[in-house]
Protein backbone atom coordinates (compact mmCIF):
# COMPACT_ATOMS: atom_id res chain seq x y z
CA UNK A 1 0.00 0.00 0.00
CA UNK A 2 1.03 3.59 -0.43
CA UNK A 3 0.37 5.17 2.98
CA UNK A 4 -0.38 3.59 6.39
CA UNK A 5 -1.42 5.76 9.34
CA UNK A 6 -0.55 4.73 12.88
CA UNK A 7 -2.13 6.67 15.75
CA UNK A 8 -0.82 6.42 19.30
CA UNK A 9 2.66 6.00 17.83
CA UNK A 10 4.35 7.53 20.91
CA UNK A 11 2.77 4.98 23.27
CA UNK A 12 4.08 1.61 24.41
CA UNK A 13 2.61 -0.43 21.56
CA UNK A 14 3.15 2.35 19.04
CA UNK A 15 6.86 2.52 19.84
CA UNK A 16 7.10 -1.27 19.51
CA UNK A 17 5.23 -1.40 16.17
CA UNK A 18 6.55 1.78 14.51
CA UNK A 19 9.88 0.29 13.37
CA UNK A 20 8.09 -2.86 12.11
CA UNK A 21 5.63 -1.15 9.76
CA UNK A 22 7.97 0.03 7.01
CA UNK A 23 7.54 -3.20 5.08
CA UNK A 24 3.76 -2.77 4.88
CA UNK A 25 3.62 0.62 3.18
CA UNK A 26 5.77 3.00 1.17
CA UNK A 27 4.97 5.81 3.62
CA UNK A 28 4.05 5.44 7.29
CA UNK A 29 2.29 8.47 8.78
CA UNK A 30 2.99 8.39 12.52
CA UNK A 31 0.74 10.37 14.84
CA UNK A 32 0.16 11.08 18.52
CA UNK A 33 -0.73 13.99 20.79
CA UNK A 34 2.69 13.47 22.40
CA UNK A 35 6.12 14.12 20.93
CA UNK A 36 7.08 11.60 18.24
CA UNK A 37 10.73 12.41 17.66
CA UNK A 38 12.25 12.73 14.21
CA UNK A 39 10.72 11.13 11.11
CA UNK A 40 12.57 8.21 9.50
CA UNK A 41 13.08 8.34 5.72
CA UNK A 42 9.79 6.53 4.99
CA UNK A 43 7.77 8.43 7.64
CA UNK A 44 5.58 11.51 7.97
CA UNK A 45 5.16 12.79 11.54
CA UNK A 46 1.89 14.50 12.49
CA UNK A 47 1.18 15.62 16.06
CA UNK A 48 -2.57 15.80 16.62
CA UNK A 49 -5.30 15.50 19.27
CA UNK A 50 -7.83 12.85 18.27
CA UNK A 51 -10.50 15.09 19.80
CA UNK A 52 -9.86 17.77 17.15
CA UNK A 53 -12.13 16.90 14.20
CA UNK A 54 -10.41 19.14 11.64
CA UNK A 55 -6.96 17.88 12.57
CA UNK A 56 -8.13 14.25 12.37
CA UNK A 57 -9.69 14.89 8.96
CA UNK A 58 -6.34 16.17 7.66
CA UNK A 59 -4.55 13.29 9.39
CA UNK A 60 -6.59 10.60 7.62
CA UNK A 61 -6.61 12.22 4.18
CA UNK A 62 -4.48 10.25 1.74
CA UNK A 63 -4.15 7.13 3.91
CA UNK A 64 -4.90 3.61 2.63
CA UNK A 65 -5.08 1.92 6.04
CA UNK A 66 -5.12 2.91 9.71
CA UNK A 67 -3.60 1.18 12.72
CA UNK A 68 -5.54 2.93 15.47
CA UNK A 69 -3.67 2.63 18.76
CA UNK A 70 -4.20 6.18 20.04
CA UNK A 71 -6.29 6.99 23.09
CA UNK A 72 -6.55 6.52 26.83
CA UNK A 73 -5.35 2.99 27.55
CA UNK A 74 -6.30 2.46 31.22
CA UNK A 75 -9.06 3.56 33.59
CA UNK A 76 -9.12 7.36 33.86
CA UNK A 77 -11.36 10.41 34.34
CA UNK A 78 -14.38 10.32 32.05
CA UNK A 79 -13.51 13.68 30.46
CA UNK A 80 -10.22 12.26 29.16
CA UNK A 81 -11.82 9.03 27.96
CA UNK A 82 -14.61 11.04 26.34
CA UNK A 83 -12.22 13.19 24.30
CA UNK A 84 -9.75 10.56 23.14
CA UNK A 85 -11.77 7.32 22.96
CA UNK A 86 -15.31 8.45 22.14
CA UNK A 87 -15.03 11.78 20.33
CA UNK A 88 -11.65 10.74 18.93
CA UNK A 89 -13.07 7.55 17.47
CA UNK A 90 -16.07 9.33 15.99
CA UNK A 91 -13.69 11.86 14.40
CA UNK A 92 -11.57 9.03 12.98
CA UNK A 93 -14.55 7.21 11.43
CA UNK A 94 -16.00 10.41 9.98
CA UNK A 95 -12.62 11.24 8.48
CA UNK A 96 -12.35 7.71 7.08
CA UNK A 97 -15.83 8.06 5.56
CA UNK A 98 -14.79 11.32 3.90
CA UNK A 99 -11.53 9.90 2.55
CA UNK A 100 -12.25 6.60 0.81
CA UNK A 101 -12.80 4.34 3.83
CA UNK A 102 -9.27 3.10 4.52
CA UNK A 103 -9.31 -0.24 6.35
CA UNK A 104 -8.92 0.17 10.13
CA UNK A 105 -7.41 -2.00 12.84
CA UNK A 106 -8.99 -0.75 16.06
CA UNK A 107 -7.09 -1.56 19.26
CA UNK A 108 -9.99 -2.67 21.43
CA UNK A 109 -9.38 -4.40 24.72
CA UNK A 110 -10.07 -7.43 26.87
CA UNK A 111 -11.64 -4.92 29.30
CA UNK A 112 -14.81 -5.08 27.15
CA UNK A 113 -15.31 -8.46 28.88
CA UNK A 114 -13.31 -7.95 32.08
CA UNK A 115 -16.07 -9.11 34.44
CA UNK A 116 -16.09 -12.66 33.08
CA UNK A 117 -14.42 -15.04 35.47
CA UNK A 118 -11.30 -16.81 34.38
CA UNK A 119 -13.04 -20.20 34.52
CA UNK A 120 -15.49 -19.01 31.84
CA UNK A 121 -14.21 -19.69 28.34
CA UNK A 122 -15.86 -17.38 25.84
CA UNK A 123 -15.91 -16.66 22.12
CA UNK A 124 -16.69 -13.43 20.28
CA UNK A 125 -20.48 -13.92 20.63
CA UNK A 126 -20.38 -13.52 24.44
CA UNK A 127 -22.19 -10.37 25.67
CA UNK A 128 -19.90 -7.52 26.69
CA UNK A 129 -19.12 -7.18 30.41
CA UNK A 130 -16.87 -4.10 30.65
CA UNK A 131 -14.98 -3.61 33.89
CA UNK A 132 -14.78 0.22 33.93
CA UNK A 133 -15.30 3.39 31.90
CA UNK A 134 -12.22 2.53 29.83
CA UNK A 135 -13.78 -0.83 28.95
CA UNK A 136 -17.07 0.89 28.17
CA UNK A 137 -15.24 3.22 25.76
CA UNK A 138 -13.89 0.18 23.90
CA UNK A 139 -17.44 -1.28 23.76
CA UNK A 140 -18.50 2.07 22.24
CA UNK A 141 -15.64 1.83 19.75
CA UNK A 142 -16.65 -1.66 18.68
CA UNK A 143 -20.30 -0.61 18.30
CA UNK A 144 -19.34 2.51 16.35
CA UNK A 145 -17.14 0.49 13.99
CA UNK A 146 -19.90 -2.07 13.52
CA UNK A 147 -22.39 0.69 12.62
CA UNK A 148 -20.02 2.19 10.03
CA UNK A 149 -19.62 -1.31 8.57
CA UNK A 150 -23.36 -2.04 8.38
CA UNK A 151 -24.26 1.43 7.06
CA UNK A 152 -21.30 2.24 4.82
CA UNK A 153 -19.23 -0.96 4.39
CA UNK A 154 -16.29 0.46 6.36
CA UNK A 155 -14.01 -2.50 7.21
CA UNK A 156 -12.46 -2.76 10.69
CA UNK A 157 -10.66 -5.44 12.66
CA UNK A 158 -11.86 -5.12 16.26
CA UNK A 159 -8.84 -6.49 18.07
CA UNK A 160 -9.52 -7.18 21.74
CA UNK A 161 -5.91 -7.03 22.85
CA UNK A 162 -5.09 -8.98 26.00
CA UNK A 163 -1.71 -7.79 27.30
CA UNK A 164 0.69 -6.83 24.52
CA UNK A 165 4.09 -6.17 25.99
CA UNK A 166 7.63 -7.52 25.99
CA UNK A 167 6.75 -10.30 28.44
CA UNK A 168 3.92 -11.20 30.85
CA UNK A 169 4.37 -9.44 34.19
CA UNK A 170 2.03 -11.59 36.33
CA UNK A 171 0.27 -14.97 36.25
CA UNK A 172 -2.93 -13.54 34.73
CA UNK A 173 -0.93 -12.52 31.68
CA UNK A 174 0.02 -16.16 31.05
CA UNK A 175 -3.50 -16.23 29.57
CA UNK A 176 -3.78 -12.69 28.14
CA UNK A 177 -0.30 -12.07 26.72
CA UNK A 178 0.37 -11.29 23.06
CA UNK A 179 3.96 -10.97 21.88
CA UNK A 180 5.05 -8.07 19.68
CA UNK A 181 5.94 -10.56 16.93
CA UNK A 182 2.43 -12.03 17.01
CA UNK A 183 0.83 -8.57 16.92
CA UNK A 184 3.02 -7.64 13.97
CA UNK A 185 1.94 -10.76 12.05
CA UNK A 186 -1.70 -10.05 12.91
CA UNK A 187 -1.41 -6.49 11.55
CA UNK A 188 0.05 -7.93 8.38
CA UNK A 189 -2.87 -10.40 7.98
CA UNK A 190 -5.51 -7.75 8.74
CA UNK A 191 -4.22 -5.40 6.05
CA UNK A 192 -3.57 -8.12 3.45
CA UNK A 193 -6.65 -10.35 3.69
CA UNK A 194 -8.83 -9.70 0.59
CA UNK A 195 -12.15 -9.41 2.48
CA UNK A 196 -12.01 -8.33 6.13
CA UNK A 197 -15.51 -7.29 7.15
CA UNK A 198 -15.76 -6.27 10.80
CA UNK A 199 -14.66 -9.24 12.90
CA UNK A 200 -13.79 -9.32 16.60
CA UNK A 201 -10.35 -10.88 17.06
CA UNK A 202 -8.80 -11.83 20.38
CA UNK A 203 -5.33 -10.32 20.53
CA UNK A 204 -3.43 -13.11 22.28
CA UNK A 205 -0.53 -15.40 21.48
CA UNK A 206 -0.91 -19.17 21.29
CA UNK A 207 -1.00 -19.38 25.10
CA UNK A 208 -1.69 -22.78 26.71
CA UNK A 209 -3.92 -21.21 29.37
CA UNK A 210 -6.05 -18.99 27.15
CA UNK A 211 -9.75 -18.28 27.87
CA UNK A 212 -10.76 -16.87 24.49
CA UNK A 213 -11.80 -18.83 21.41
CA UNK A 214 -10.46 -17.22 18.23
CA UNK A 215 -11.91 -19.73 15.76
CA UNK A 216 -14.19 -17.10 14.18
CA UNK A 217 -11.06 -15.24 13.03
CA UNK A 218 -9.45 -18.28 11.36
CA UNK A 219 -10.25 -16.83 7.90
CA UNK A 220 -7.53 -14.21 8.50
CA UNK A 221 -4.84 -16.87 8.22
CA UNK A 222 -3.18 -15.46 11.36
CA UNK A 223 -1.13 -18.07 13.21
CA UNK A 224 0.34 -16.69 16.45
CA UNK A 225 3.63 -18.43 17.25
CA UNK A 226 4.47 -17.44 20.83
CA UNK A 227 3.22 -19.01 24.06
CA UNK A 228 3.34 -17.25 27.45
CA UNK A 229 3.78 -20.59 29.19
CA UNK A 230 7.55 -20.36 28.84
CA UNK A 231 7.49 -17.49 31.39
CA UNK A 232 5.55 -19.42 34.07
CA UNK A 233 8.55 -20.80 35.96
CA UNK A 234 10.28 -17.43 36.27
CA UNK A 235 7.02 -15.73 37.38
CA UNK A 236 6.61 -18.44 40.04
CA UNK A 237 10.06 -17.55 41.33
CA UNK A 238 9.84 -13.75 41.05
CA UNK A 239 6.23 -13.32 42.29
CA UNK A 240 5.47 -16.47 44.25
CA UNK A 241 1.97 -17.93 44.15
CA UNK A 242 -0.82 -15.51 43.20
CA UNK A 243 -3.54 -15.39 45.90
CA UNK A 244 -6.57 -17.41 44.73
CA UNK A 245 -9.02 -14.68 45.77
CA UNK A 246 -7.13 -11.81 44.09
CA UNK A 247 -8.98 -10.24 41.13
CA UNK A 248 -5.84 -11.20 39.19
CA UNK A 249 -6.79 -14.85 39.77
CA UNK A 250 -10.57 -14.49 39.49
CA UNK A 251 -11.51 -12.03 36.73
CA UNK A 252 -10.46 -11.88 33.11
CA UNK A 253 -9.94 -8.12 33.52
CA UNK A 254 -7.75 -8.62 36.61
CA UNK A 255 -7.28 -5.56 38.83
CA UNK A 256 -9.32 -3.31 36.48
CA UNK A 257 -12.51 -4.65 38.11
CA UNK A 258 -11.43 -2.86 41.32
CA UNK A 259 -10.80 0.55 39.75
CA UNK A 260 -13.03 3.33 41.13
CA UNK A 261 -14.81 5.88 38.96
CA UNK A 262 -12.17 8.61 38.84
CA UNK A 263 -13.72 12.00 39.50
CA UNK A 264 -13.16 14.90 37.11
CA UNK A 265 -11.64 18.09 38.46
P1 LIG B 1 -0.32 3.90 25.64
O2 LIG B 1 -1.10 4.64 26.67
O3 LIG B 1 1.11 3.60 25.93
O4 LIG B 1 -0.39 4.69 24.26
C5 LIG B 1 -1.54 5.38 23.83
C6 LIG B 1 -1.09 6.61 23.07
O7 LIG B 1 -2.26 7.35 22.71
C8 LIG B 1 -0.19 7.54 23.89
O9 LIG B 1 1.05 7.76 23.24
C10 LIG B 1 -0.99 8.81 24.03
O11 LIG B 1 -0.19 10.00 23.98
C12 LIG B 1 -1.93 8.72 22.84
N13 LIG B 1 -3.13 9.54 23.07
C14 LIG B 1 -3.87 9.62 24.21
N15 LIG B 1 -4.83 10.54 24.07
C16 LIG B 1 -4.71 11.05 22.83
C17 LIG B 1 -5.41 12.04 22.10
N18 LIG B 1 -6.45 12.72 22.64
N19 LIG B 1 -5.03 12.29 20.83
C20 LIG B 1 -3.98 11.62 20.27
N21 LIG B 1 -3.27 10.67 20.92
C22 LIG B 1 -3.64 10.40 22.18
O23 LIG B 1 -1.12 2.55 25.33
P24 LIG B 1 -0.58 1.24 24.61
O25 LIG B 1 -0.28 0.22 25.62
O26 LIG B 1 0.43 1.60 23.62
O27 LIG B 1 -1.91 0.75 23.86
C28 LIG B 1 -2.21 1.17 22.55
C29 LIG B 1 -3.69 0.91 22.29
O30 LIG B 1 -3.96 -0.48 22.48
C31 LIG B 1 -4.63 1.67 23.23
O32 LIG B 1 -5.77 2.08 22.50
C33 LIG B 1 -5.02 0.62 24.26
O34 LIG B 1 -6.31 0.89 24.79
C35 LIG B 1 -5.00 -0.64 23.43
N36 LIG B 1 -4.71 -1.81 24.24
C37 LIG B 1 -3.43 -2.04 24.66
C38 LIG B 1 -3.13 -3.16 25.42
C39 LIG B 1 -1.73 -3.49 25.80
O40 LIG B 1 -1.53 -4.55 26.38
N41 LIG B 1 -0.74 -2.66 25.51
C42 LIG B 1 -4.20 -4.10 25.82
C43 LIG B 1 -5.51 -3.75 25.32
C44 LIG B 1 -5.74 -2.65 24.56
C1 LIG C 1 -5.39 -2.90 28.52
O2 LIG C 1 -6.43 -2.64 27.91
C3 LIG C 1 -4.39 -1.85 28.81
O4 LIG C 1 -4.31 -0.92 27.77
C5 LIG C 1 -3.00 -2.40 29.08
O6 LIG C 1 -2.24 -1.37 29.72
C7 LIG C 1 -2.98 -3.67 29.93
O8 LIG C 1 -3.24 -3.35 31.24
C9 LIG C 1 -3.99 -4.69 29.39
O10 LIG C 1 -5.26 -4.14 29.05
C11 LIG C 1 -4.26 -5.86 30.35
O12 LIG C 1 -5.40 -6.16 30.63
O13 LIG C 1 -3.28 -6.48 30.77
pLDDT in tens, 172-198: 999 999 999 999 999 999 999 999 999
Task: Please tell me the predicted confidence (pLDDT) of residue 264.
Answer: 84
Q: Which residues line ligand 1 (CB under 6 A)?
A: 8, 10-14, 32-34, 49-51, 69-73, 83-84, 88, 107, 109, 161, 163-165
| CATH assignment of the domain containing 121 | 3.40.50.720
- In whole angstroms, give the CA distance from residue 200 to residue 142: 8
Average pLDDT over every residue of 12-19: 98
Tell me if 106 is assigned to some domain.
Answer: yes
The residue whose CA has the least distance to atom 41 of ligand 1 is: 164
Average pLDDT over every residue of 131-144: 98
Burial of 78 (0-12, 13-18, 19+ CB in 10 A): middle
Atom of ligand 2 minimally distant from the CA of 176: 13
Task: Please tell me the predicted confidence (pLDDT) of residue 215.
Answer: 97
Average pLDDT over every residue of 226-237: 97
Reported as a single tens digit per residue, the pLDDT across 54-79 is 999 999 999 999 999 999 999 999 99
Tell me if 263 is assigned to some domain.
Answer: no
CA–CA–CA angle 157, 152, 33 (5° rounding): 55
> Catalytic residue at 93?
no
Closest-lying ligand to the alpha carbon of 8?
Answer: 1
pTM of the shown model: 0.98
Burial of 180 (0-12, 13-18, 19+ CB in 10 A): middle
Atom of ligand 1 minimally distant from the CA of 32: 21
Domain with 251 in it: 3-258
Tell me if 264 is assigned to some domain.
Answer: no
Domain count, the chain: 1
Mean pLDDT of the chain: 97
Tell me if 223 is assigned to some domain.
Answer: yes
Confidence of residue 90 (pLDDT cuts 50, 70, 90): very high
Closest-lying ligand to the alpha carbon of 9?
Answer: 1
Q: Which residues line ligand 2 (CB under 6 A)?
A: 73-74, 109-111, 163, 176, 254
Tell me if 237 is assigned to some domain.
Answer: yes
Task: Please tell me the predicted confidence (pLDDT) of residue 265.
Answer: 72
Atom of ligand 1 minimally distant from the CA of 178: 40
Pairing between strand 65-68 and 3-7?
A: parallel
Amino acid sequence: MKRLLITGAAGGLGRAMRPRLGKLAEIVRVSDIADLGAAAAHEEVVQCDLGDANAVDRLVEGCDAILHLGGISVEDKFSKILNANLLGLYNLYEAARAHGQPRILFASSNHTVGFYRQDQHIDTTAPMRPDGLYGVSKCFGEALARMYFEKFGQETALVRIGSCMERPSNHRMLSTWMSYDDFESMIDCVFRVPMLGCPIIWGISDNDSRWWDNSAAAFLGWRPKDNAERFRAELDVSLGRQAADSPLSVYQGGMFVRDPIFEDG
